[in-house]
Structure 1
Amino acid sequence: MHRSLLMCLIALLLLASSSSHSAAAMPFQPVISKSGFDWALPNTVVIIDVGHGGVDGGAAYGDMLEKDINLAVAHKLYAILRAQGIAAVMNRTSDYALSEDNRWHISRSRHRKDLSQRRQLTEEIDSELLVSLHVNSTKNKSKYGPLVLHQTSGESALLAFCIQDALNRQQNTKFLPREGTPFYLLRRVHQPSVIVEMGFISSERDRAMLTDPVKQQEIAEAVASGIRQYKWIAR
Protein backbone atom coordinates (compact mmCIF):
# COMPACT_ATOMS: atom_id res chain seq x y z
CA MET A 1 0.00 0.00 0.00
CA HIS A 2 1.28 3.50 -0.86
CA ARG A 3 2.71 5.12 2.26
CA SER A 4 0.71 8.36 2.03
CA LEU A 5 -2.52 6.38 1.65
CA LEU A 6 -1.61 4.28 4.70
CA MET A 7 -0.97 7.43 6.75
CA CYS A 8 -4.35 8.86 5.79
CA LEU A 9 -6.10 5.59 6.68
CA ILE A 10 -4.47 5.67 10.10
CA ALA A 11 -5.58 9.25 10.58
CA LEU A 12 -9.14 8.37 9.52
CA LEU A 13 -9.22 5.67 12.20
CA LEU A 14 -8.11 8.25 14.76
CA LEU A 15 -10.80 10.61 13.52
CA ALA A 16 -13.50 7.96 13.84
CA SER A 17 -12.39 6.90 17.31
CA SER A 18 -12.56 10.46 18.65
CA SER A 19 -15.78 11.62 16.98
CA SER A 20 -17.83 11.07 20.13
CA HIS A 21 -15.65 13.28 22.35
CA SER A 22 -13.92 15.71 19.99
CA ALA A 23 -12.86 19.12 21.27
CA ALA A 24 -13.84 20.76 17.97
CA ALA A 25 -15.32 24.23 18.23
CA MET A 26 -19.08 24.70 18.33
CA PRO A 27 -20.63 26.11 15.13
CA PHE A 28 -20.45 29.90 14.97
CA GLN A 29 -23.60 31.67 16.13
CA PRO A 30 -24.10 35.37 15.37
CA VAL A 31 -24.70 37.65 18.34
CA ILE A 32 -27.98 39.60 18.37
CA SER A 33 -27.52 43.13 19.66
CA LYS A 34 -30.13 45.06 21.64
CA SER A 35 -30.87 47.11 18.56
CA GLY A 36 -31.79 43.96 16.64
CA PHE A 37 -28.80 43.87 14.28
CA ASP A 38 -26.79 40.70 13.68
CA TRP A 39 -23.06 41.10 14.35
CA ALA A 40 -20.85 38.46 12.75
CA LEU A 41 -17.21 37.76 13.56
CA PRO A 42 -14.65 37.86 10.75
CA ASN A 43 -14.31 34.41 9.24
CA THR A 44 -11.75 32.41 7.31
CA VAL A 45 -10.77 28.81 6.64
CA VAL A 46 -7.15 28.81 7.81
CA ILE A 47 -5.45 30.91 10.46
CA ILE A 48 -1.72 30.92 9.81
CA ASP A 49 -0.04 31.38 13.19
CA VAL A 50 3.37 32.93 12.48
CA GLY A 51 5.62 31.82 15.32
CA HIS A 52 7.57 34.35 17.43
CA GLY A 53 8.27 37.92 16.24
CA GLY A 54 9.63 41.22 17.50
CA VAL A 55 11.83 40.85 20.58
CA ASP A 56 11.18 37.10 20.46
CA GLY A 57 13.44 35.79 17.71
CA GLY A 58 12.81 32.12 18.43
CA ALA A 59 15.50 29.59 17.57
CA ALA A 60 18.68 31.04 16.10
CA TYR A 61 21.91 30.14 14.33
CA GLY A 62 24.28 33.07 14.04
CA ASP A 63 22.26 35.92 12.55
CA MET A 64 19.60 33.53 11.21
CA LEU A 65 16.41 33.84 13.27
CA GLU A 66 13.40 31.55 13.37
CA LYS A 67 10.96 34.47 13.40
CA ASP A 68 12.20 35.59 9.95
CA ILE A 69 11.93 32.10 8.45
CA ASN A 70 8.43 31.63 9.87
CA LEU A 71 7.28 34.94 8.40
CA ALA A 72 8.80 34.28 4.98
CA VAL A 73 7.14 30.87 4.67
CA ALA A 74 3.84 32.21 6.07
CA HIS A 75 3.64 34.90 3.35
CA LYS A 76 4.20 32.22 0.72
CA LEU A 77 1.65 29.84 2.28
CA TYR A 78 -0.91 32.64 2.47
CA ALA A 79 -0.46 33.49 -1.22
CA ILE A 80 -0.74 29.83 -2.27
CA LEU A 81 -3.91 29.19 -0.26
CA ARG A 82 -5.58 32.35 -1.51
CA ALA A 83 -4.66 31.48 -5.10
CA GLN A 84 -6.27 28.06 -4.59
CA GLY A 85 -9.49 29.57 -3.28
CA ILE A 86 -8.86 28.72 0.39
CA ALA A 87 -9.49 31.74 2.61
CA ALA A 88 -6.60 32.41 4.99
CA VAL A 89 -5.34 35.06 7.40
CA MET A 90 -1.96 35.60 9.08
CA ASN A 91 -1.89 36.69 12.71
CA ARG A 92 1.18 38.83 12.00
CA THR A 93 2.35 40.15 8.64
CA SER A 94 5.56 41.86 9.75
CA ASP A 95 8.19 41.60 12.47
CA TYR A 96 6.51 42.42 15.77
CA ALA A 97 5.53 40.56 18.94
CA LEU A 98 1.84 39.75 19.34
CA SER A 99 2.26 40.34 23.08
CA GLU A 100 2.42 44.06 22.26
CA ASP A 101 -1.25 43.90 21.16
CA ASN A 102 -2.33 42.15 24.36
CA ARG A 103 -3.82 44.70 26.76
CA TRP A 104 -6.28 42.31 28.45
CA HIS A 105 -4.10 39.56 29.98
CA ILE A 106 -2.81 40.73 33.37
CA SER A 107 0.61 39.11 33.45
CA ARG A 108 4.23 40.24 33.72
CA SER A 109 5.25 37.41 31.37
CA ARG A 110 5.65 38.59 27.78
CA HIS A 111 5.65 34.93 26.68
CA ARG A 112 2.28 34.23 28.32
CA LYS A 113 0.78 37.38 26.84
CA ASP A 114 2.07 36.38 23.40
CA LEU A 115 0.52 32.90 23.59
CA SER A 116 -2.79 34.09 25.02
CA GLN A 117 -3.04 36.73 22.28
CA ARG A 118 -2.57 34.02 19.63
CA ARG A 119 -5.32 31.92 21.23
CA GLN A 120 -7.62 34.94 21.58
CA LEU A 121 -7.40 35.66 17.86
CA THR A 122 -8.75 32.15 17.12
CA GLU A 123 -11.84 33.08 19.15
CA GLU A 124 -12.27 36.46 17.47
CA ILE A 125 -11.93 35.04 13.95
CA ASP A 126 -14.36 32.27 13.01
CA SER A 127 -12.16 29.65 11.33
CA GLU A 128 -11.92 25.95 10.48
CA LEU A 129 -8.32 25.24 11.46
CA LEU A 130 -5.05 26.73 12.66
CA VAL A 131 -1.56 25.97 11.32
CA SER A 132 1.29 27.28 13.47
CA LEU A 133 4.63 27.63 11.67
CA HIS A 134 7.88 27.08 13.57
CA VAL A 135 11.51 25.98 13.20
CA ASN A 136 13.14 23.36 15.43
CA SER A 137 16.52 23.46 17.15
CA THR A 138 18.59 21.06 19.24
CA LYS A 139 22.14 20.59 20.51
CA ASN A 140 22.25 17.35 18.50
CA LYS A 141 23.27 18.69 15.08
CA SER A 142 22.56 15.35 13.41
CA LYS A 143 18.81 15.76 13.91
CA TYR A 144 16.95 17.01 10.86
CA GLY A 145 13.60 16.94 9.12
CA PRO A 146 10.03 18.15 9.60
CA LEU A 147 7.78 17.32 12.55
CA VAL A 148 4.06 18.07 12.86
CA LEU A 149 2.52 18.16 16.35
CA HIS A 150 -1.21 17.71 16.87
CA GLN A 151 -3.99 17.80 19.46
CA THR A 152 -5.66 14.72 20.92
CA SER A 153 -8.65 15.06 18.58
CA GLY A 154 -8.89 12.95 15.46
CA GLU A 155 -9.43 16.00 13.25
CA SER A 156 -6.13 17.50 14.38
CA ALA A 157 -4.37 14.14 13.97
CA LEU A 158 -5.72 13.84 10.43
CA LEU A 159 -4.50 17.34 9.56
CA ALA A 160 -1.09 16.51 11.03
CA PHE A 161 -0.78 13.24 9.09
CA CYS A 162 -1.66 14.99 5.83
CA ILE A 163 0.83 17.84 6.32
CA GLN A 164 3.56 15.51 7.63
CA ASP A 165 3.19 13.26 4.60
CA ALA A 166 3.44 16.22 2.21
CA LEU A 167 6.54 17.56 3.98
CA ASN A 168 8.11 14.08 4.02
CA ARG A 169 7.73 13.90 0.26
CA GLN A 170 9.11 17.42 -0.15
CA GLN A 171 12.15 16.75 2.08
CA ASN A 172 12.62 13.04 1.30
CA THR A 173 12.07 11.97 4.93
CA LYS A 174 9.90 9.35 6.64
CA PHE A 175 8.94 10.89 9.98
CA LEU A 176 5.59 10.51 11.73
CA PRO A 177 3.63 13.30 13.44
CA ARG A 178 3.35 13.32 17.23
CA GLU A 179 0.83 14.47 19.78
CA GLY A 180 1.92 17.81 21.23
CA THR A 181 0.21 17.62 24.62
CA PRO A 182 2.43 20.14 26.50
CA PHE A 183 2.00 22.95 23.98
CA TYR A 184 -0.30 25.81 25.02
CA LEU A 185 -1.95 26.44 21.65
CA LEU A 186 -2.73 22.77 21.11
CA ARG A 187 -4.31 22.58 24.57
CA ARG A 188 -6.26 25.82 24.47
CA VAL A 189 -7.38 26.30 20.85
CA HIS A 190 -10.68 24.56 20.09
CA GLN A 191 -10.60 24.13 16.32
CA PRO A 192 -8.32 21.49 14.72
CA SER A 193 -4.79 22.86 15.09
CA VAL A 194 -1.23 21.73 14.43
CA ILE A 195 2.27 23.03 15.04
CA VAL A 196 4.48 22.56 11.99
CA GLU A 197 8.20 22.37 12.80
CA MET A 198 9.48 22.85 9.25
CA GLY A 199 13.04 21.69 9.96
CA PHE A 200 16.01 22.18 12.29
CA ILE A 201 17.92 25.47 12.15
CA SER A 202 20.65 23.60 14.07
CA SER A 203 21.07 21.17 11.14
CA GLU A 204 23.31 22.26 8.26
CA ARG A 205 21.12 20.23 5.89
CA ASP A 206 17.90 21.89 7.00
CA ARG A 207 19.39 25.35 7.48
CA ALA A 208 20.29 25.61 3.81
CA MET A 209 16.70 24.71 2.93
CA LEU A 210 15.00 26.95 5.50
CA THR A 211 16.88 30.08 4.39
CA ASP A 212 16.53 29.53 0.62
CA PRO A 213 13.51 31.41 -0.85
CA VAL A 214 13.02 28.67 -3.48
CA LYS A 215 12.98 25.95 -0.83
CA GLN A 216 10.74 28.06 1.39
CA GLN A 217 8.26 28.12 -1.48
CA GLU A 218 8.46 24.31 -1.67
CA ILE A 219 7.78 24.05 2.07
CA ALA A 220 4.77 26.35 1.74
CA GLU A 221 3.46 24.32 -1.20
CA ALA A 222 3.81 21.11 0.84
CA VAL A 223 1.90 22.56 3.79
CA ALA A 224 -0.81 23.84 1.44
CA SER A 225 -1.00 20.39 -0.19
CA GLY A 226 -1.50 18.79 3.23
CA ILE A 227 -4.27 21.25 4.06
CA ARG A 228 -6.04 20.51 0.77
CA GLN A 229 -5.75 16.75 1.35
CA TYR A 230 -7.18 17.16 4.85
CA LYS A 231 -10.13 19.17 3.59
CA TRP A 232 -10.82 16.59 0.85
CA ILE A 233 -10.82 13.68 3.34
CA ALA A 234 -12.66 15.45 6.15
CA ARG A 235 -15.43 17.00 4.07
Structure 2
Amino acid sequence: MIKTAVVWMLLLTLALPGSVMEAYPVKEQTMTRPAHAVHKSLLSTTRLLTETPESTHSSGQEIDQSELRQLHPFAHDVILIDVGHGGIDGGTSYGEILEKDINLAISRRLFMLLRKEGYHAVLNRDADYALSDDNRWHRSSSRHRRDLSQRKQLSSEIPTKLVVSIHVNWGKNSSKRGGIVLHQSEGRSTLLADTIQEQLNLVYRNNNHIMVGKPYYLLNQTQVPAVIVETGFLSNMEDRKLLTGRNGQMQIAEAIADGIISYLTAL
Protein backbone atom coordinates (compact mmCIF):
# COMPACT_ATOMS: atom_id res chain seq x y z
CA MET A 1 0.00 0.00 0.00
CA ILE A 2 2.83 2.41 0.84
CA LYS A 3 4.56 1.70 -2.49
CA THR A 4 1.31 2.32 -4.40
CA ALA A 5 0.78 5.66 -2.66
CA VAL A 6 4.35 6.74 -3.44
CA VAL A 7 3.91 5.87 -7.13
CA TRP A 8 0.74 7.95 -7.43
CA MET A 9 2.35 10.87 -5.58
CA LEU A 10 5.14 10.75 -8.18
CA LEU A 11 2.63 10.73 -11.07
CA LEU A 12 0.75 13.68 -9.62
CA THR A 13 4.00 15.60 -9.18
CA LEU A 14 4.98 14.98 -12.81
CA ALA A 15 1.59 16.11 -14.03
CA LEU A 16 1.45 19.43 -12.11
CA PRO A 17 0.28 22.30 -14.39
CA GLY A 18 3.51 24.25 -13.97
CA SER A 19 5.49 21.55 -15.77
CA VAL A 20 3.09 20.58 -18.54
CA MET A 21 0.77 23.49 -19.37
CA GLU A 22 2.71 24.28 -22.52
CA ALA A 23 2.31 20.72 -23.76
CA TYR A 24 -1.07 21.55 -25.25
CA PRO A 25 -2.57 24.84 -26.43
CA VAL A 26 -5.34 26.87 -24.87
CA LYS A 27 -7.24 29.06 -27.28
CA GLU A 28 -6.96 32.20 -25.18
CA GLN A 29 -3.28 31.68 -24.41
CA THR A 30 -0.84 34.30 -25.76
CA MET A 31 2.14 32.84 -27.61
CA THR A 32 5.51 33.99 -26.24
CA ARG A 33 7.66 31.73 -28.43
CA PRO A 34 7.37 30.68 -32.07
CA ALA A 35 6.49 27.08 -31.32
CA HIS A 36 6.76 24.27 -28.82
CA ALA A 37 8.09 20.84 -29.71
CA VAL A 38 7.79 17.64 -27.73
CA HIS A 39 10.70 17.34 -25.32
CA LYS A 40 12.33 14.19 -23.95
CA SER A 41 11.30 14.83 -20.33
CA LEU A 42 7.69 15.16 -21.43
CA LEU A 43 7.84 11.88 -23.33
CA SER A 44 9.20 10.16 -20.23
CA THR A 45 6.19 11.36 -18.25
CA THR A 46 3.88 10.27 -21.06
CA ARG A 47 5.35 6.78 -21.17
CA LEU A 48 5.10 6.38 -17.40
CA LEU A 49 1.44 7.37 -17.33
CA THR A 50 0.34 5.32 -20.32
CA GLU A 51 1.99 2.23 -18.90
CA THR A 52 0.02 2.49 -15.62
CA PRO A 53 -2.23 -0.58 -15.20
CA GLU A 54 -5.88 -0.04 -16.07
CA SER A 55 -6.93 -0.89 -12.56
CA THR A 56 -4.85 0.39 -9.62
CA HIS A 57 -6.01 0.08 -6.04
CA SER A 58 -5.25 2.68 -3.39
CA SER A 59 -6.94 2.66 0.02
CA GLY A 60 -9.29 0.00 -1.29
CA GLN A 61 -10.63 2.18 -4.12
CA GLU A 62 -10.19 1.78 -7.88
CA ILE A 63 -8.73 4.75 -9.79
CA ASP A 64 -11.14 6.30 -12.31
CA GLN A 65 -9.57 6.13 -15.79
CA SER A 66 -11.09 9.51 -16.71
CA GLU A 67 -9.14 11.01 -13.81
CA LEU A 68 -5.97 9.27 -14.97
CA ARG A 69 -6.51 10.75 -18.44
CA GLN A 70 -6.55 14.23 -16.92
CA LEU A 71 -3.12 13.54 -15.37
CA HIS A 72 -1.70 12.87 -18.83
CA PRO A 73 0.63 15.65 -20.08
CA PHE A 74 -1.52 15.68 -23.24
CA ALA A 75 -5.08 15.79 -21.98
CA HIS A 76 -6.42 16.09 -25.53
CA ASP A 77 -5.75 14.19 -28.76
CA VAL A 78 -3.30 16.29 -30.73
CA ILE A 79 -2.58 17.12 -34.35
CA LEU A 80 1.01 15.98 -34.74
CA ILE A 81 2.97 18.08 -37.24
CA ASP A 82 5.91 16.04 -38.50
CA VAL A 83 8.62 18.44 -39.67
CA GLY A 84 10.51 16.63 -42.43
CA HIS A 85 14.31 16.10 -42.26
CA GLY A 86 16.54 18.24 -40.00
CA GLY A 87 20.10 18.39 -38.72
CA ILE A 88 22.53 16.39 -40.86
CA ASP A 89 19.63 15.46 -43.16
CA GLY A 90 18.93 18.54 -45.29
CA GLY A 91 16.47 16.88 -47.65
CA THR A 92 16.30 18.10 -51.24
CA SER A 93 18.08 21.34 -52.14
CA TYR A 94 18.57 24.08 -54.71
CA GLY A 95 21.91 25.82 -54.28
CA GLU A 96 21.99 26.91 -50.65
CA ILE A 97 18.23 26.49 -50.23
CA LEU A 98 17.55 23.40 -48.08
CA GLU A 99 14.28 21.54 -47.75
CA LYS A 100 14.68 21.09 -43.98
CA ASP A 101 14.55 24.87 -43.47
CA ILE A 102 11.45 25.31 -45.62
CA ASN A 103 9.72 22.43 -43.83
CA LEU A 104 10.38 24.04 -40.46
CA ALA A 105 9.24 27.50 -41.57
CA ILE A 106 5.93 26.22 -42.98
CA SER A 107 5.36 23.86 -40.03
CA ARG A 108 5.81 26.67 -37.52
CA ARG A 109 3.25 28.76 -39.35
CA LEU A 110 0.87 25.81 -39.54
CA PHE A 111 1.32 25.23 -35.81
CA MET A 112 0.51 28.86 -35.00
CA LEU A 113 -2.58 28.88 -37.25
CA LEU A 114 -4.01 25.73 -35.67
CA ARG A 115 -3.36 27.02 -32.16
CA LYS A 116 -5.01 30.31 -33.04
CA GLU A 117 -8.14 28.40 -34.02
CA GLY A 118 -8.09 26.49 -30.73
CA TYR A 119 -6.77 23.16 -32.03
CA HIS A 120 -4.30 21.14 -29.98
CA ALA A 121 -1.17 20.75 -32.09
CA VAL A 122 2.46 19.83 -31.48
CA LEU A 123 5.65 19.92 -33.56
CA ASN A 124 8.09 17.03 -33.37
CA ARG A 125 10.97 19.48 -33.83
CA ASP A 126 11.12 23.27 -33.51
CA ALA A 127 14.76 23.77 -34.48
CA ASP A 128 17.39 22.35 -36.85
CA TYR A 129 18.25 18.93 -35.45
CA ALA A 130 17.87 15.32 -36.52
CA LEU A 131 15.21 13.26 -34.75
CA SER A 132 17.47 10.23 -35.11
CA ASP A 133 19.66 11.80 -32.39
CA ASP A 134 16.78 11.30 -29.93
CA ASN A 135 16.35 7.64 -30.85
CA ARG A 136 18.16 5.48 -28.29
CA TRP A 137 15.83 2.48 -28.53
CA HIS A 138 15.93 1.33 -32.17
CA ARG A 139 18.90 -0.99 -32.68
CA SER A 140 19.82 -0.03 -36.22
CA SER A 141 23.04 1.26 -37.74
CA SER A 142 20.96 3.28 -40.22
CA ARG A 143 20.50 6.89 -39.13
CA HIS A 144 17.67 7.22 -41.66
CA ARG A 145 15.83 4.21 -40.19
CA ARG A 146 16.21 5.60 -36.66
CA ASP A 147 14.87 8.95 -37.84
CA LEU A 148 11.78 7.39 -39.41
CA SER A 149 11.05 5.11 -36.47
CA GLN A 150 11.38 8.03 -34.05
CA ARG A 151 8.78 10.00 -36.03
CA LYS A 152 6.39 7.05 -36.06
CA GLN A 153 6.94 6.25 -32.38
CA LEU A 154 5.87 9.70 -31.25
CA SER A 155 2.36 9.16 -32.62
CA SER A 156 1.99 6.17 -30.29
CA GLU A 157 3.67 7.85 -27.31
CA ILE A 158 1.09 10.65 -27.10
CA PRO A 159 -2.66 10.62 -27.86
CA THR A 160 -2.71 11.61 -31.53
CA LYS A 161 -5.72 12.53 -33.65
CA LEU A 162 -3.84 12.71 -36.96
CA VAL A 163 -0.36 13.19 -38.40
CA VAL A 164 0.58 15.72 -41.09
CA SER A 165 4.13 15.38 -42.39
CA ILE A 166 5.56 18.45 -44.14
CA HIS A 167 8.01 18.06 -47.05
CA VAL A 168 9.19 19.71 -50.28
CA ASN A 169 9.18 17.96 -53.65
CA TRP A 170 11.70 17.77 -56.51
CA GLY A 171 11.19 16.78 -60.14
CA LYS A 172 13.51 16.10 -63.05
CA ASN A 173 11.07 18.06 -65.18
CA SER A 174 11.28 21.64 -63.92
CA SER A 175 7.83 22.42 -65.29
CA LYS A 176 6.20 20.24 -62.62
CA ARG A 177 4.73 22.37 -59.86
CA GLY A 178 2.22 22.55 -57.06
CA GLY A 179 1.50 20.67 -53.88
CA ILE A 180 0.80 16.93 -53.80
CA VAL A 181 -0.64 15.07 -50.82
CA LEU A 182 0.20 11.40 -50.21
CA HIS A 183 -2.09 9.28 -48.08
CA GLN A 184 -2.59 5.85 -46.54
CA SER A 185 -4.85 3.20 -48.06
CA GLU A 186 -7.49 4.15 -45.54
CA GLY A 187 -10.67 6.20 -45.78
CA ARG A 188 -9.96 8.87 -43.17
CA SER A 189 -6.46 9.46 -44.52
CA THR A 190 -7.87 9.76 -48.04
CA LEU A 191 -10.43 12.32 -46.88
CA LEU A 192 -7.78 14.32 -45.05
CA ALA A 193 -5.55 14.30 -48.14
CA ASP A 194 -8.47 15.41 -50.32
CA THR A 195 -9.35 18.40 -48.18
CA ILE A 196 -5.72 19.57 -48.01
CA GLN A 197 -5.14 18.98 -51.73
CA GLU A 198 -8.19 21.06 -52.62
CA GLN A 199 -6.82 24.03 -50.67
CA LEU A 200 -3.29 23.68 -52.08
CA ASN A 201 -4.69 23.65 -55.62
CA LEU A 202 -6.28 27.03 -54.92
CA VAL A 203 -2.88 28.43 -53.92
CA TYR A 204 -1.07 27.02 -56.97
CA ARG A 205 -4.04 27.45 -59.34
CA ASN A 206 -3.70 23.94 -60.69
CA ASN A 207 -5.45 20.59 -60.44
CA ASN A 208 -3.04 18.14 -58.83
CA HIS A 209 -4.39 14.89 -57.41
CA ILE A 210 -3.73 12.99 -54.20
CA MET A 211 -1.71 9.78 -54.35
CA VAL A 212 -1.39 6.64 -52.22
CA GLY A 213 2.05 6.71 -50.58
CA LYS A 214 2.69 2.98 -50.66
CA PRO A 215 6.46 2.95 -50.07
CA TYR A 216 6.51 5.51 -47.26
CA TYR A 217 7.41 4.18 -43.81
CA LEU A 218 5.51 6.86 -41.88
CA LEU A 219 2.26 6.17 -43.72
CA ASN A 220 2.63 2.39 -43.47
CA GLN A 221 3.54 2.28 -39.79
CA THR A 222 1.39 5.04 -38.27
CA GLN A 223 -1.88 3.74 -36.81
CA VAL A 224 -3.84 7.01 -36.92
CA PRO A 225 -4.85 8.89 -40.10
CA ALA A 226 -1.68 10.35 -41.62
CA VAL A 227 -0.66 12.23 -44.77
CA ILE A 228 2.56 13.52 -46.29
CA VAL A 229 2.20 17.00 -47.77
CA GLU A 230 4.69 17.75 -50.55
CA THR A 231 4.22 21.50 -50.35
CA GLY A 232 5.69 22.33 -53.77
CA PHE A 233 8.53 21.63 -56.20
CA LEU A 234 11.85 23.22 -55.31
CA SER A 235 12.93 22.42 -58.88
CA ASN A 236 10.30 24.81 -60.27
CA MET A 237 11.06 28.55 -60.28
CA GLU A 238 7.50 29.67 -59.48
CA ASP A 239 7.12 27.16 -56.67
CA ARG A 240 10.54 28.09 -55.32
CA LYS A 241 9.46 31.70 -54.90
CA LEU A 242 6.44 30.61 -52.87
CA LEU A 243 8.37 28.07 -50.80
CA THR A 244 11.12 30.50 -49.82
CA GLY A 245 9.12 33.69 -49.30
CA ARG A 246 7.27 34.58 -46.09
CA ASN A 247 4.01 35.33 -47.86
CA GLY A 248 4.21 32.12 -49.87
CA GLN A 249 4.99 30.04 -46.81
CA MET A 250 2.00 31.56 -45.02
CA GLN A 251 -0.29 30.85 -47.98
CA ILE A 252 0.81 27.22 -48.00
CA ALA A 253 0.43 26.90 -44.22
CA GLU A 254 -3.04 28.46 -44.38
CA ALA A 255 -4.05 26.02 -47.12
CA ILE A 256 -2.93 23.02 -45.04
CA ALA A 257 -4.63 24.39 -41.91
CA ASP A 258 -7.88 25.00 -43.81
CA GLY A 259 -7.74 21.45 -45.16
CA ILE A 260 -7.20 19.97 -41.69
CA ILE A 261 -10.04 22.02 -40.21
CA SER A 262 -12.37 21.03 -43.07
CA TYR A 263 -11.53 17.37 -42.44
CA LEU A 264 -12.15 17.62 -38.70
CA THR A 265 -15.41 19.48 -39.30
CA ALA A 266 -16.60 16.79 -41.72
CA LEU A 267 -16.09 13.95 -39.23
TM-score calculated relative to the size of structure 1? 0.84
What's the counterpart of residue 87 of structure 1?
120
* Partner residue in 2 for 1:144: 177
Cross-structure match for 1:24:
none
Structure 1 runs of 4+ aligned residues shifted over 2 Å read 29-45
Contact 1:186 / 1:193 at 8 angstroms: preserved in 2?
Answer: yes
Structure 2 counterpart of 1:174, which letter? N
Contact map agreement 1:30 1:41 (CA 8 A) in 2 = no
Deviates more, 1:32-41 or 1:161-170: 32-41
Question: Matched residues, percent identical?
Answer: 50
Task: Give 2:25's aligned residue.
Answer: none
TM-score normalised per structure 2: 0.74
Query: Is the counterpart of residue 70 in structure 1 residue 103 in structure 2?
Result: yes
Secondary structure in structure 2 of the residue aligned to 1:197:
strand
- How far off is 1:52 after superposition? 0.1
Query: How many residues are aligned here?
Result: 206
Which has the higher Rg, Structure 1 or Structure 2? Answer: 2
Gap regions ≥5 residues in structure 2: 1-49
Given that 1:129 and 1:191 are in contact with CA atoms closer than 8 Å, whether structure 2 keeps it comes out as yes
Secondary structure of the residue aligned to 2:160 is coil
Aligned to 1:128, the other structure's residue is in SS state: strand
* CA distance in 2: counterparts of 1:206 and 1:189, whole angstroms: 29
- The reply on whether 1:40 has 2:72 as its aligned counterpart is yes
Give the partner amino acid of 2:53: I
Q: Answer whether contact 1:145 1:173 (CA < 8 A) is retained.
A: yes
Is residue 41–residue 124 contact of structure 1 (8 Å, CA) maintained in 2? Answer: no
Structure-2 residue corresponding to 1:163:
196
2:83 is the counterpart of 1:50: yes
The CA deviation at 1:35 is 6.4
| Aligned-partner SS, 2:251 | helix
1:135 is paired with a residue whose SS is strand
> Helix, strand or coil: the match of 1:32?
coil
Could you tell me which runs of 5 or more consecutive residues in structure 1 were left unpaired when the two chains were aligned. Answer: 1-28
How do 1:1-235 residues align onto structure 2 when only pairs under 5 Å count? Answer: 31-32=52-53, 38=68, 40=72, 42=74, 43-234=76-267
Partners in 2 of 1:111 and 1:154 — Cα distance? 29
Q: Which has the higher contact order (CA 8 A, sep 6+)?
A: 1
- Superposed displacement of residue 153, structure 1: 0.6
